[in-house]
A and B are shown apart, each in its own frame.
Chain A
Amino acid sequence: EAGVVQSPRYKIIEKKQPVAFWCNPISGHNTLYWYLQNLGQGPELLIRYENEEAVDDSQLPKDRFSAERLKGVDSTLKIQPAELGDSAVYLCASSSTGSGSYNEQFFGPGTRLTVL
């Protein structure tokens, strides 16, 4: 079974440019998460989707970040415009409803963003 797929794996852009990340979760997983991870730190949740609905976007900086999961499967996270402080790894994870309160999540390899 394929795991969580993310692309691109690496992205280097200049500040003020837009950037987009793509994630395809594990087949059948209806919950999708986007996290931000700074070097040597734990992931921090940006947004959580249940199917196509964003059920928790309280930590998403909405002035420059946006996300969508139109058909409840794959998802796109966008930053426009990017700032120097956005340099980090952006992780996507998915889980199934059956995990219940255990909330066992499966992570993709991440996209490493460098803003120059």
Chain B
Amino acid sequence: TQLLEQSPQFLSIQEGENLTVYCNSSSVFSSLQWYRQEPGEGPVLLVTVVTGGEVKKLKRLTFQFGDARKDSSLHITAAQPGDTGLYLCAGAKGGKLIFGQGTELSVKP
């Protein structure tokens, strides 16, 4: 059973489009992190959200933590080919991180 469900699993869009990736769980997390991973590399931390309802912006990326701290979303505005990669959400619980299965994003020029 996947503790963190990400959707969609695959997303292929054209440059300039907007998109949202969702990360859902029935469990409460003390914090939730979003990572981006490129082929042949390890995941790189994008953001950590801690407070229910928190919204953080990183240039064209907007991250939101659900009020109940069980879910999160990542919205990308005007996607660019450089945004291509595997986006992973991870919840902190019991001293460790639990990862979702990832969303594979492909942005075509």
B-binding residues in A (CB < 8 A): 4, 33, 40-45, 48, 55-56, 91, 93, 101-110, 112
Contact = CB atoms under 8 A, between A and B. Distances in A.
Contact of A91 (B42, B45, B104): B42
Contact of B102 (A42, A48, A55, A104): A42
A107 B97 CA distance: 13
B92 A102 contact: yes
B69 to A, nearest CB: 12
Contacts of B30: 101-102
A33 to B, nearest CB: 8
Give the dominant DSSP class at A's interface: mixed
B44 A45 contact: no
A46 B3 CA distance: 16
Interface in B91-105: 92, 95-97, 99-102, 104
A4 B108 CA distance: 31
Contacts of A105: 45, 97
B102 A40 contact: yes
B92 A103 contact: yes
Contacts of B90: 42
A48 B21 CA distance: 29
A22 to B, nearest CB: 15
A59 B91 CA distance: 17
A42 B99 contact: yes
B96 A41 contact: no
A105 B86 CA distance: 17
Given A104-B45, A107-B42, A43 B99 contact: yes
27 contacts: A40-B9, A42-B4, A42-B88, A42-B90, A42-B99, A42-B100, A43-B43, A45-B96, A55-B95, A101-B30, A101-B92, A102-B30, A102-B31, A102-B48, A102-B50, A103-B33, A103-B95, A103-B97, A104-B33, A105-B45, A106-B45, A107-B35, A107-B43, A107-B44, A108-B42, A110-B40, A110-B42
A109 B102 contact: no
